[in-house]
Amino acid sequence: MFVDRIKVFAQAGKGGRGSVSFRREKFVPKGGPDGGDGGHGGDVVLRAERHVDNLANLFYEPIIKAKDGGHGKGKKMAGRAGANKIVKVPVGTIVWRAEDEKFSTSNADKSRAGAQQRTPGSDQSAIRALQSEMDLIVDLVRDGEEFVLCRGGAGGKGNVHFKSSRNRAPRQYTDGEEGEQGYFLLELRTIADAGLVGYPNAGKSTLLRKLSAARPKVAAYPFTTLHPVVGVMELPGYRHATIADIPGLIEGAHRGVGLGHEFLRHITRCPILIFVIDVAGSEGRSPVEDLQNLRKEIDLYDPMLSSRPWLIVANKMDLPNANENLEALQEKFSKVRTVSISAANGEGIDTLKKALAERMTGDQDISSPINGGQAENL
């Protein structure tokens, strides 16, 4: 299961109580106070790790608690410190603090905190509205980077601290402090609004240049080793959208061949997937097989990813055989929106822009059936 946004409740450990104790030794009838301090409560710590893909582990454990500190003991012995709770999250996780009441009233109670799948359109605006009132507290961008989400409470003082000239046998102690707690929203940073997926030489780079107003830039995303190129596309009404070209998809990617895993991980950070196919089959390839294989890679990696909105871009329409191949492709994938273009000469680019704009503004569902065909869609 793929989870890229989740609400959690986190609570650090409480400090241990100070101890009330007196020295008892054979030849010391009235020993002084020797009650030790309570141990520190454990922290809740987020740690960004490269090999962690998504936030699914938190789906099963949306309530995160660190251990309480131990109580102090006699002989000035301090209580043991509560163990920290380390939560591994993907590199590129952003954390927001939410106000308790708002989060708990609008999103059920602690026990119901849970995952939010990224389904563009649906509940995104509600979450965005909620987010506008939240504080961004950290953006974990480096492998191994740690952040203390909730600090554990200090341990209480034992009676050894309360001895004075007037009171040689104090019975005072203090309680440990409560650990910090709160509701948080964890979210994976997106790379772009849409990502291009396709075999080498399908025409992704050419297309990106055609779609974007300026020449696309190699984006500096610290959490990637593959370098996505992100272009900004202008949409009607002075809006814009970003499109990413991430190199690296090859067959066997789901098994981690080459930089395959890295590639797949990145496209999970693009809410819409654009499959770019060389529909002319110019290198002796079969466009239908290409698309089937690409869909298979994605599905094998994560079925949640293959259920994400997608559309087909049939590229290289200016070349021979493109028309026949396009028919075959549309027949096979009749339920998916297909836009035929030539990235080289610009044919169909406006139509594609329109289709993307509709998808991004939620006006139309690209992945919904457009002609009611029964052909199977892998």
Ligand X SMILES: Nc1nc2c(ncn2[C@@H]2O[C@H](COP(=O)(O)OP(=O)(O)O)[C@@H](O)[C@H]2O)c(=O)[nH]1
Among 116, 159, 205, 338, binds ligand X (CB under 6 A): 205
Measured CA to CA, the distance from residue 273 to residue 308 in angstroms comes to 7
Instruction: Count the neighbouring beta carbons within 10 Å of the beta carbon of residue 308.
Output: 21
Measured CA to CA, the distance from residue 145 to residue 247 in angstroms comes to 26
Structure-token pair, residue 260: 């395959």
- Nearest residue to Mg ion on Cβ basis: 205
200 binds ligand X (CB under 6 A): yes
Name the minimum Å distance from CB 204 to Mg ion: 5
Q: Name which of 205 and 325 has its Cβ closer to Mg ion.
A: 205
Structure-token pair, residue 123: 């509940």
Q: Which residue has the tokens 């962690």?
A: 52
Structure-token pair, residue 174: 């203090």
Which stretch, 6-14, 17-25, 171-179, 204-212, contacts ligand X (CB under 6 A)?
204-212
Name the minimum Å distance from CB 276 to ligand X: 6
Q: Phi first, then psi: what are they for 290, rounded to 5°?
A: -55, -50
| Secondary structure (DSSP) of 295-344 | HHHHHHH-HHHHTS-EEEEEE-TTSTTHHHHHHHHHHHTTTS-EEE--TT
Name the minimum Å distance from CB 136 to Mg ion: 33
Q: Name which of 181 and 206 has its Cβ closer to Mg ion.
A: 206
Region 305-364 residues binding ligand X, contact defined as CB under 6 A: 315-316, 318-319, 342-344
With vertex at residue 40, the alpha carbon angle to CA 39 and CA 46, rounded to the nearest 5 degrees, is 145
Q: Which does 365 bind (CB under 5 to 8 A by kind): ligand X, Mg ion, none?
A: none
Q: Tell me which residue of 252, 259, 256, 247 sits closest to 296, measured CA to CA.
A: 252
Which stretch, 119-127, 200-208, 223-231, 370-378, contacts ligand X (CB under 6 A)?
200-208
Q: Which does 144 bind (CB under 5 to 8 A by kind): ligand X, Mg ion, none?
A: none
Residue 242, classed as helix, strand or coil, is strand
Name the minimum Å distance from CB 292 to ligand X: 18
Among 172, 181, 206, 307, binds ligand X (CB under 6 A): 206
Residue type, 331: E
Measured CA to CA, the distance from residue 36 to residue 7 in angstroms comes to 38
Name the minimum Å distance from CB 248 to ligand X: 11
Name the minimum Å distance from CB 142 to ligand X: 29
Which stretch, 167-175, 195-203, 212-220, 353-361, contacts ligand X (CB under 6 A)?
195-203
For binding to ligand X (CB under 6 A), which residues are involved? 198, 200-206, 315-316, 318-319, 342-344
